[in-house]
């Protein structure tokens, strides 16, 4: 144990390898793409990657993009305290360059929570993903 008030937990070897692959990537990666990149590091089966991904998502270090069946390293743009990190975030996914922008729109989340409250729906997770073209890739 590396002592640890409540920050990022120690990663196991496989978790570190998978997180490294995602951190170094320009965009989202599928589990099988990650596996291919890590063959030389000893990973051999999809399950090794999926198990690491499950944990990394649980730790909040990685996000799963539902509309892509792929994963990205978390990159929320600024101040988050160690204890309680982020809540719901949204993603803008460029279909041209593959780039993903993570953002938090508190008003959006509040509105959705409001709807849920009035309907008695108890949300455990929320998916918000925009698909389209980023500024660089959009036609002039």
Partner DNA sequence: TGATGAAATGTTATGTCATAACGTTTGAGG
Partner DNA sequence: CCTCAAACGTTATGACATAACATTTCATCA
Instruction: Find out whether 17 and 25 touch, Cβ atoms under 8 Å.
Output: no
Give yes or no for residue 132 binding a second copy (CB under 8 A).
yes
Give the one entry of DNA, a second copy, none that residue 129 binds, where binding means its C-beta sits below a cut-off of 5 to 8 angstroms depending on kind: a second copy
End-to-end C-alpha distance for the chain, whole angstroms: 54
Give the one entry of a second copy, DNA, none that residue 67 binds, where binding means its C-beta sits below a cut-off of 5 to 8 angstroms depending on kind: a second copy
What is the C-alpha radius of gyration for the chain, rounded to an integer number of angstroms?
A: 17
Give yes or no for residue 120 binding a second copy (CB under 8 A).
yes
Q: What are the φ/ψ torsions at residue 117 (nearest 5 degrees)?
A: -60, -50
φ/ψ region of 30 (left if φ > 0, alpha if ψ in -120 to 50, else beta) reads: beta
Give yes or no for residue 45 binding DNA (CB under 7 A).
yes
Shortest distance, position 69 Cβ to a second copy, whole Å:
8
Q: For binding to a second copy (CB under 8 A), which residues are involved?
A: 66-67, 90, 92, 94-95, 101, 103, 105, 107-108, 111-112, 115-116, 119-135, 138
């Amino acid at each position: 144990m590396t002592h640890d008030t409540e920050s990022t937990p120690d990663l196991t070897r496989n978790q570190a390898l998978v997180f490294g692959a995602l951190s170094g990537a320009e965009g989202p990666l599928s589990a099988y793409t990650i596996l291919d990149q890590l063959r030389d590091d000893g990973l051999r089966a999809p399950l090794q990657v999926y198990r690491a991904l499950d944990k990394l998502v649980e730790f909040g270090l990685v996000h799963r993009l539902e509309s892509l069946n792929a994963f990205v390293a978390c990159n929320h743009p600024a101040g988050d305290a160690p204890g309680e990190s982020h809540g719901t975030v949204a993603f803008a996914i460029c279909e041209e360059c593959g780039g993903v922008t993570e953002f938090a729109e508190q008003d959006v989340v509040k509105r959705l929570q409001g709807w849920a409250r009035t309907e008695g729906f108890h949300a455990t997770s929320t998916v918000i993903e925009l698909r389209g073209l980023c500024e660089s890739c959009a036609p002039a």
